[in-house]
Amino acid sequence: MDQREANDIENEGLGCEWKEMERNTSSFSCDRQMSGTVREPLLVKNRINATSQIAIVGANVCPIESLDYEIVENDLFKQDWRSRSKVQIFQYVVLKWTLSLLIGLSTGVVAFFNNLAVENIAGFKLLLTTDLMFQRKYFQAFAAYAGCNMVLSMCAAALCAYIAPAAAGSGIPEVKAYLNGVDAYSILAPSTLFVKIFGSIFGVAAGFVVGKEGPMVHTGACIAALLGQGGSRKYHLTWKWLRYFKNDRDRRDLITCGAAAGVAAAFRAPVGGVLFALEEAASWWRSALLWRTFFTTAIVAMVLRSLIQFCQSGKCGLFGQGGLIMFDVSSAVPAYDTADLLAVMFLGIIGGILGSLYNYLVDKVLRIYSIINERGPIFKILLVMAVSFLTSCCAYGLPWFANCTPCPIGLDEACPTTDGSGNYKNFQCPPRHYNDLASILLNTNDDAIRNLLNSSNEKEFQLATLCIFFAAMYFLGIITYGIAIPSGLFIPVILAGASYGRLVGTIVGPTSNLDVGLFALLGAASFLGGTMRMTVSLCVILLELTNNLLMLPLVMLVLLISKTVADCFNKGVYDQIVKMKGLPYMEAHAEPYMRQLVAGDVVSGPLITFSAVEKVGNIIHALKMTRHNGFPVIDEPPFSDAPELCGLVLRYHLLVLLKGKKFTKQSVLSGTEILRKFHAFDFAKAGSGKGPKLEDLDITEEEMEMYVDLHPIANTSPYTVVETMSLAKAAILFRGLGLRHLCVVPKTPGRPPIVGILTRHDFMPEHILGIYPHMDPHK
């Protein structure tokens, strides 16, 4: 990385530590066992993601590392497991379920608070605007509406720009990458959780075309990460039970539960939340995790149901029917024939085309926004203010072009609507008339969706209204995603899809057995499938939202068609954003060109190894000169007959061992004394990546000449592959086992016992195609 790029990072105020290394190499703390050039993964021209060691999190560039999901089987670990009693194992299991319970309770309460705040803040804003409109004070109404939106948007942007840049966006790509094994700066930090909650409230209440559903997934994951820290020495939470979770493997399971709880809380869809975690978020799954995830989402559903029943007594202000979205279309009976199936298939094709175009445009807009966001917090806030003003102008200005419609006769509700919500807004129309475009534009997103899925009045919205609303939601959703506020994609996509679905339903209405509300639902499903490329989880979420199992065949059909069509053009929106941000995501399949290479083709030196009994000074020097996370340990005579691979030792474990200063003056085995002095918990990974630092060590010159036995902390059973194994096979093994290091051993005897180490970086296309630039990436 050149000096200009380093200054860019420093100016962002990330607090990311940057150090110049020897051998003309610059590197962040990472897994690498090789030198190389580091560049930003940027979304702008002239910047190349050559190493995937840094990535864009939120709107800032941060260092990334891999997570240690592998079980380290060293002598300390084996001694700990042998000494554990049945009571301790029972404590561990009980604590897992207890934390799942707490995740469900906390996520449910946060989701309810989020929706309660949004509905009351947005409701007050809309009531104020409506009152001024009734008094024919149109300019004052716009000033009040745009002013409220501007203040709220500035609050959301300031929180993201100054406190937690990682809270910007939906957070689903970051959670997805974390569950794949990528740890980036402050993804799940408490400050990110705080900004995610309040920034989402301000952003959604400000009238942006964003949803709170995507941020709820990130919120649930942050809550799970906070509860799963394994205690904290800083806050004196060092209860022995909590220490069981000081490892990335158990935290990964808890964060999977948190992501599922976020979906369940956002849509009141507990089964959909489990399937979302299985289909989209988690990279590793097992039956035990399925049970705990299901238990967590069930707790969320019960919490939300209890709190909603409490609010039905009128004690929650303007909450009313809003908030936790539930679209009841169960009154419509989906009787359909061949002509209806053709219309549904047409919706699926349209959804696939529009969804792929949506993803393409989001990609282009994010590249432009990155140029603005990298200039600093002030520019981020100015961009948010500009988009807020444009959104306010569209929401307030477009209804003036719509015609006034006479109120239908025999309605159960008031027409025109007298409060801030409802289906029939008067806007500027005469008495007993309503403005159909204002009814969906000047409304909360949840109420707008309810109005679009409403089947009671098939002629409620004119064709021109639906076309204008679709265009507004489509393009406002694109330009809003990427600004420095927590923003989800679910709601904008549902709004746009429901509008063109109702449009198609209105056109084919005279010849169709399906009503316009069902067409709106199918349109939303088609657009969701075209953008997000999920099938099973989206299908169940939509069915839980609408409470209509009879729609299952049609929803399945439209999702399958839209995903198939969209896959012909590009990837899903979250996959695109993961790649765009530079997050080194490992796919479940190997790329075709990997079959042409073997493992030995991509590992490179210099490889740094330690002797089983190593001089302290050599370890300190290696730790200072590199940022490698794993070091092979080689047993050599007199401790073995010939050089052999003893195992792999982690950087963090070396720091703990050096801090304990259990050294010897001679090169002798001292593992027994180390086992007596240390406990396995001493080497457990600290929460939030906070642990001993190299700078904290106080090693004297005399101690630098002493020796330390690495046998007790070396992982004696690291995963290894022979150097002639195809890179494709090694990639599938690496991803399937959730590894951080994969040792490559020689094929023939008489050579050093290890050739190199494969890390996540070595499987990235940027690295491989950088070594072999003439290789065709598609073959």
Instruction: Give per-residue pLDDT as tens, 316-345.
Output: 777 655 555 666 665 556 678 888 899 999
Q: Which of 408-412, 586-590, 669-673, 688-692 has maximum average pLDDT?
A: 586-590
Confidence (pTM):
0.89
Give the residues across from 26 on adjacent strands. 20
pLDDT at 359: 96
Q: How far is CA 213 from CA 445, 490, 642, in A?
A: 12, 7, 59
Could you say which DSSP state residue 422 is in? S
* Mean pLDDT value of segment 489-503: 94
Q: What distance in Å separates the CA atoms of residue 441 and residue 496, rounded to the nearest whole number?
A: 12
At residue 758, does pLDDT exceed 90?
A: yes
Amino acid at 11: N
Instruction: Kindly tell me if the per-residue pLDDT of 419 is higher than 90.
Output: no
| CA dist., res. 67 & res. 84, Å (int) | 26
Tens digit of pLDDT for each residue in 128-166?
Answer: 998 888 888 999 999 999 999 999 999 999 999 999 999
Mean pLDDT for the chain overall: 85
d(CA 337, CA 774): 54
Q: How confident is the model at residue 362 (pLDDT cuts 50, 70, 90)?
A: very high
Q: How confident is the model at residue 690 (pLDDT cuts 50, 70, 90)?
A: low
pLDDT of residue 310: 83
Going through 147-250 in order, the beta strands assigned E by DSSP cover 182-184
Q: Averaged over 354-375, what is the pLDDT?
A: 93
Whether the pLDDT of residue 124 is over 50: the answer is yes
List the beta bridge partners of residue 610: 633
Question: Which stretch, 47-51, 81-85, 285-289, has highest mean pLDDT?
Answer: 285-289
- Identity of the amino acid at 203: G
Average pLDDT of span 712-740: 94
When pLDDT is averaged across residues 184-189 and rounded to a whole number, the result is 84
Question: What is the per-residue pLDDT for 572?
Answer: 93
Distances (CA, A) of 616 to 23, 706, 707: 22, 6, 5
pLDDT at 605: 65
CB 583 within 8 A of CB 55: yes
The DSSP line for 297-335 is HHHHHHHHHHHHHHHTTTTSTT-TT-SS-----TTS---
Q: Residue 21's pLDDT band (boundaries 50, 70, 90)?
A: very low
Number of neighbouring beta carbons within 10 Å of residue 107: 35
Residues 123, 127, 131, CA angle at the centre, nearest 5°? 175
Q: Is residue 241 predicted with pLDDT exceeding 70?
A: no
* Minimum mean pLDDT range among 189-193, 227-231, 678-682: 227-231
Query: What's the rounded mean pLDDT across residues 26-37?
Result: 36
Residue 353 tokens, joined: 């085309």
What pLDDT is stored for residue 31 in this prediction? 47
pLDDT, mean of residues 645-659? 92
Pair 707, 667: CB distance under 8 Å: yes
Q: State pLDDT tens for residues 606-622.
A: 789 999 999 999 999 99
- Alpha-helix runs per DSSP H in 661-726: 671-677, 701-704
Distance of CA 29 to the CA centre of its chain: 22
**Which tokens in the block code for residue 142?**
């716009």
pLDDT at 206 over 70: yes
Query: Alpha-carbon torsion 490, 494, 495, 497, what sign?
Result: positive
Two tokens, residue 134: 């009734």
Q: What percent of the chain has pLDDT over 90?
A: 50
Length of the chain: 779
Six token digits for residue 211: 């949803």
Q: What is the mean pLDDT of residues 389-404?
A: 93
* Residues 527, 404: Cα–Cα separation, whole Å: 29
pLDDT value of residue 536: 94
| Spatial CA neighbour of 297 closest among 108, 540, 109 | 108
DSSP for 240-272?
Answer: GGGGGG-SHHHHHHHHHHHHHHHHHHHHT-HHH
pLDDT at 291: 92
Q: By three-state DSSP, how is residue 50 classified?
A: coil
Higher-confidence position of 12 and 454: 454
* Average of per-residue pLDDT across 220-243: 74
Q: Is the pLDDT score of 653 beyond 50? A: yes
Weakest-pLDDT range from 35-39, 56-60, 183-187, 452-456: 35-39
In the block, which residue shows the tokens 């002013």? 147
Angle among Cα 154, 171, 327 to the nearest 5 degrees reads 85
How far, in Å, CA of 293 to CA of 278, rounded? 10
Contact 288, 232 (CB under 8 A): no
pLDDT of residue 661: 87
Distant-in-sequence, close-in-space partners of 129: CB < 8 Å, separation ≥ 6:
141, 144, 145, 396, 420, 442
pLDDT band at residue 41, thresholds of 50, 70 and 90? very low
**Token pair for 192:** 């990110």
- For residue 228, CA distances in Å to 193, 241, 250, 404, 720 come to 14, 11, 8, 56, 31
| Token pair for 588 | 């479940």
